[in-house]
Amino acid sequence: MQKTTQIKHLYDNNVLNICLDTLEKDKQALVFVNTKNSAEAEAERISKKIKPAEKEKQKLEELSQKALKTLDKPTKQCQRLALCFRHGVAFHHAGLHSQQRELVEDNFRNGMIKIICSTPSLALGINLPAFRVIIRDLKRFSGPRGMTWIPVLEFEQFCGRAGRPDFNDTFGEAICIAQSESEKENIIDNYIEGETEEILSKLAVEPILRTYVLSLIATDFANSKKTLMDFFKKTFYAHQFKDIQKLSEIIDRILNKLAEWEFISIKIDKLEATLLGARVSQLYLDPYTAHYLITCLKRAKDKLLRDISFLQMVSYTLELRPLLNVRVREYELVENKAAQYETSILSLEPSMFEPEYEEYIKSIKTALFFQEWINEKDDEILLEEFNVRPGESRAKLERADWLIYASQELSRLIKLHGLISELAKIRLRLKYGAKEELLPLLKLKSVGRTRARKLFNNKIKTIEDVKNVDFTQLSQLIGRATSLSIKKQVGQDLREEKVVVKKGTRKGQTSLKKYDKKKKEKSK
DNA sequence: AAGCGAATTATGTAGACAGCATGTC
DNA sequence: CTACATAATTCGCTT
């Protein structure tokens, strides 16, 4: 065991004190906290007390600028990260844009960043060791149970990040922060001397079990109740579950549902997947969700279809949860929107007194969030209005895209061909975050919603317009390199005729001009 | 079987300004 | 009285 380390008590914040001590030792630290907000706040607090070394200032400033330039328009989060970067500090969580996440990780590895305040997301999967690990929060909010102690396994994950053998660390330190003497004893008993809890099988969750049963039938691994049971008896789940009778009942229930939803047929104990069931399994959809989507799609013919129809449809699935929170003061507003769009909503509205109603209202808000995105609102507005960070909106959009794609496939199978093109449109719009009018332009490579909008606003609205527009004018709008590329895509290769391309130049014409100007001014 | 951080609201403080009293011509 | 700073309180969110 190590001898007790004395840390100078400079501030009334032990995490900060330990961080400062770590810097004195010329080492790095990871701080684990339980929420994204805390990670940002703690990082900011620490950064305010750190003065970076003179020789590192410039590089940190560059880094800071990179954080601001990740998005077209920096969000509050970007500015916060940039502020921390200037002091060699960063925060890390799932809400961070992937490019910024990379910036944080890379620059911690190369030593520019000394302290990262992070949510547990960093301990899971990403290998980013530090000399010191500071575990500020050992409790985390968990559903109806309030603040609960984190699993011992997770504590060990945190500790496992301590020590960098590649930096010749022969040891690492993991430090827990206790609020009181009694909590200190608790921590020692539970975590340091405690036993790791049993690992629970993921199969125990019903949606996963459902998906599995269908998949086993669809792939012909099991074609009867008996073979199905034989398979599950061998799994870890059954081993834990022990009560085979109960498991059998659950499987029976699932089989009945699958048959009712027409994903399988049951003929004298012969199980067979239907065409639809096989596709559901291929799409890796939870059969429950697949059935829900199908009922919504069938309802579409009686509804006034709008963007919100499909957006709400996917928002109301289990796959998109947790949904966006509806604040008290906006509750009424969202309810009004729900009423306003009533004729367009494809899912059934639960009664106001059912517990599901809350989720329904949340699904409306989530749909409104997607709607803003496909109406070209940027990350900053999404963060301000919906409190969704860039990293999180990406994750949500990806799930929505997958479900819309699945809906498209399902429409084909249940012969609702009229919906396919509508779904395809929404899908593209989700991908690019653009209004429908931009879709023709978005077919071009290296044209995203920003460039497409610029072109559109300058009366270049279709591929035909792109063909006809003068190259110089196009260059002025979106830069020469891009113009060359898209002109080529519409069948006009101008590379050798009119334009000379400078070798090694990757930036657009405008930035080159500016650079030249500055040079000239200096030489005068 | 909560607790943090942010937002909002209350409270405190200093300085600007106008009105009034007083003094001088 | 107003404008601003600071303290106290409430609000919202958590994976």
Distance CA A412, CA A409 (A): 5
A438-495 pLDDT, tens per residue? 999 999 999 999 999 999 999 999 999 999 999 999 999 998 999 999 999 998 877 6
Maximum CA extent, chain A: 94
- What nucleotide is nearest A331 when CA is compared to C1'? C12
A11 CA – B12 C1', rounded, Å: 27
Chain A 351-410 contacts with nucleic strand C (CB below 7 A) = 387
Judge whether residue A35 contacts strand C, using its CB and a 7 Å cut-off: yes
The token pair that represents A36 in the structure block:
């994204």
- What nucleotide is nearest A35 when CA is compared to C1'? C14
Judge whether residue A246 contacts strand C, using its CB and a 7 Å cut-off: no
Strands A264-267, A270-273: pairing kind: antiparallel
Q: What is the pLDDT of residue A496?
A: 52
A289-323 pLDDT, tens per residue? 999 999 999 999 999 999 999 999 999 999 999 89
Q: List Cβ neighbours of A112 (8 Å cut-off, separation of 6 or more).
A: A56, A59, A60, A63, A88
Judge whether residue A265 contacts strand C, using its CB and a 7 Å cut-off: no
A339 CA – B15 C1', rounded, Å: 53
Strands A115-118, A29-32: pairing kind: parallel
Question: pTM higher than 0.85, yes or no?
Answer: yes
Chain A 141-170 contacts with nucleic strand C (CB below 7 A) = 141-143
The token pair that represents A398 in the structure block:
């990806």
> Buried b / exposed e across A337-362, counting CB within 10 Å, b at 16+?
bbeebeebbbbeeeeeeeeeeebbbb
Distance CA A474, CA A318 (A): 45
Judge whether residue A146 contacts strand B, using its CB and a 7 Å cut-off: yes
Judge whether residue A215 contacts strand B, using its CB and a 7 Å cut-off: no
A387 CA – C1 C1', rounded, Å: 38
The token pair that represents A10 in the structure block:
């400079």
Nucleotides of C strand lying within 7 Å of any protein CB atom: 11-15
Least confident of A153-162, A221-230, A308-317, A514-523: A514-523
Judge whether residue A79 contacts strand B, using its CB and a 7 Å cut-off: no
The token pair that represents A399 in the structure block:
């799930």
Chain A 243-262 contacts with nucleic strand B (CB below 7 A) = none
How far is the first Cα of chain A from the last one, in angstroms, to the nearest whole number?
68
| R_g of chain A, CA atoms, integer Å | 28
- What nucleotide is nearest A392 when CA is compared to C1'? C15
- Planar angle of CA A332, A334, A339, nearest 5 degrees: 95
Judge whether residue A322 contacts strand C, using its CB and a 7 Å cut-off: yes
Judge whether residue A408 contacts strand B, using its CB and a 7 Å cut-off: no
Residue A90 pLDDT > 70, yes or no?
yes
Judge whether A397 and A373 are in contact, CB under 8 Å.
yes
Smallest CA-to-CA distance from A91 within A23, A145, A135, A32 is with A32
Neighbours of A450 (CB within 10 A): 15
Q: Rounded to 5 degrees, what are φ and ψ at A225?
A: -55, -40
Report the protein residue whose CA lies nearest the C1' of nucleotide C12: A327
Percent of chain A at pLDDT > 90 equals: 65
Judge whether residue A143 contacts strand B, using its CB and a 7 Å cut-off: no
Nucleotides of B strand lying within 7 Å of any protein CB atom: 1-6
Q: Is the dihedral of CA A332, A337, A339, A340 positive or negative?
A: positive
Stretch A362-390: mean pLDDT: 93
Strands A173-176, A270-273: pairing kind: unpaired
Stretch A434-441: mean pLDDT: 96
Judge whether residue A257 contacts strand C, using its CB and a 7 Å cut-off: no
- What nucleotide is nearest A44 when CA is compared to C1'? B5
Q: What is the pLDDT of residue A237?
A: 72
Judge whether A123 and A32 are in contact, CB under 8 Å.
yes
A321-370 pLDDT, tens per residue? 989 988 887 888 899 999 999 999 999 999 888 888 989 999 999 999 99
A220: left (phi over 0), alpha (psi -120 to 50) or beta: left
Distance CA A130, CA A225 (A): 52
Judge whether A105 and A128 are in contact, CB under 8 Å.
yes
- Planar angle of CA A168, A170, A176, nearest 5 degrees: 115
Chain A 95-124 contacts with nucleic strand C (CB below 7 A) = 119-121
